[in-house]
Chain A
Amino acid sequence: MSDVRVLTTASGCHLFSGCGYPAPSISDFYFKPIFTVGGVAFTKPMLLAVVTAVIILTFFFVAFRKPKIVPRGAQNLGELGVLFVRDQILRQQLGKKGDKFLPFIVAIFFFVWIMNLFGIIPLIEFPATSRFAFPVTLALIVWVTYITIGIKSKGPIGYFRRMAVPEGAPWWILPLLAPVELFSNILVRPFTLAIRLFANMLAGHLLLLVFGLASWYLFSLSIGLLFAATSFLLTIILTGLEVLIMALQAFIFATLTSFYIADAMETAH
């Protein structure tokens, strides 16, 4: 059971045919391994991650292989993407001093975006980021990055002091507030970063499954036809919404990554 097509043809259920609506469930997020190497199963989400990396590497290699002053073709598109990330995400948080992190943020943004986008590509129809391991790994990379940058720029003690002591708070309330500040900076940040992306993609995929399946299930020569048409219309509208959310989640992920880096680099609050 991998996506809408397989599920619907597998169930073959229709309205008034005696069987109930085959509701999508969490099992739609688990796949039969494509192949197994030494006990490690290689599944569709892993394949999608590899494909994403190949797509991004190929595209940017082709785009910037022979850069010209006046960009044409793929270089034009590549520059558009990189400049968007630089001006709308990176410099909003870090200013010009953050330009050395541009490759990192560009990689994060496009990786998350393409991984999300697989959710609406016909025949693939699965956002790889709706498997929790991918957002968690990305969040861990971000976490290690911003903590390393913080320690490098302020030293271990100075950095953790700034992580724990909120500025502007009177001293007598510090024992109460410092644990919250430290906890939210060290643990809650990577956790919410991962959860936000994962939950959005999981919910979006389930939503599309619900209405995609319903269009098929309600499709019969009866009043169900009307419901099926409505459901199909909703599938299309929600697909449009998902396109927006997929780009937005990649944008938020990259924005927060640059914000955390900026926060770690900042000398004095």
Chain B
Amino acid sequence: MSGGGPPAGDRDPSQPRPAGEGWTILSYMIGGMALYGFLGWLIGRWTGLPVLFPIGMLVGLASAIALIIFRVTRS
């Protein structure tokens, strides 16, 4: 929810955001961490730097949060 901001897209302005929107946050969080975590783990195995796994997960988490912010605040 954007705290009373203008509603997004072509939705009816008098209608609240659909409830399903909230679940996409969960899917971004899981998706971001899983994808970049896996990439980090893979590159970490390849280069012998296991620290890339948690770094990848953090990058994924950051991207997920960025995506959520862009999705919610767009107008």
- Identify the A interface with B (CB < 8 A): 92-93, 95, 166-169, 173, 176-177, 179-181, 183-185, 187-189, 191-192, 255-256, 258-260, 262-263, 266-269
For A260, the chain B residues whose CB sits under 8 A away are: 20
Name which residue of chain A comes closest to B63, CB basis.
A180
For A93, the chain B residues whose CB sits under 8 A away are: 18-20
Name which residue of chain A comes closest to B24, CB basis.
A184
Whether the Cβ atoms of A256 and B32 lie closer than 8 Å is no
A169, A173, A184, A191 pick with most chain B CB within 10 angstroms? A184
Whether the Cβ atoms of B32 and A180 lie closer than 8 Å is yes
Interface majority SS (helix, strand, loop, mixed), chain A = helix
For A166, the chain B residues whose CB sits under 8 A away are: 67, 70-71
In-complex Cβ contact of B23 among A95, A259, A269 (8 A) = A259
Known: A167-B74, A181-B67, A258-B20. A192 touches B10 (CB 8 A): no
18 contacts between A and B (CB under 8 A): A93-B19, A93-B20, A166-B70, A167-B74, A168-B70, A168-B71, A173-B66, A176-B66, A180-B31, A183-B34, A185-B27, A187-B31, A192-B27, A192-B30, A259-B18, A259-B20, A268-B9, A268-B10
Whether the Cβ atoms of A92 and B18 lie closer than 8 Å is yes
For B28, the chain A residues whose CB sits under 8 A away are: 180-181, 184
Minimal beta-carbon separation of A147 from chain B (angstroms): 15
In-complex Cβ contact of B10 among A179, A188, A191, A266 (8 A) = A266
Known: A166-B67, A177-B67, A180-B64. A255 touches B34 (CB 8 A): no
Minimal beta-carbon separation of A260 from chain B (angstroms): 7
For B40, the chain A residues whose CB sits under 8 A away are: none
Known: A167-B70, A168-B70, A269-B74. 6 other contacts (CB 8 A): A180-B64, A183-B32, A255-B19, A259-B19, A267-B10, A268-B9
For A259, the chain B residues whose CB sits under 8 A away are: 18-21, 23
For A192, the chain B residues whose CB sits under 8 A away are: 23, 26-27, 30
For B32, the chain A residues whose CB sits under 8 A away are: 180, 183-184
Q: Mark B53-66, 1 if CB is under 8 A from A, else 0.
A: 00000011001101
Name which residue of chain A comes closest to B12, CB basis.
A95
Minimal beta-carbon separation of A269 from chain B (angstroms): 5
Q: Which 8 pairs, one residue from A and one from B, show the smallest C-beta to C-beta distance?
A: A259-B20, A184-B31, A168-B74, A188-B31, A168-B70, A188-B27, A169-B70, A180-B32
Minimal beta-carbon separation of B18 from chain A (angstroms): 5
Q: Mark B14-51, 1 if CB is under 8 A from A, else 0.
A: 00001111011011101110111000000000000000
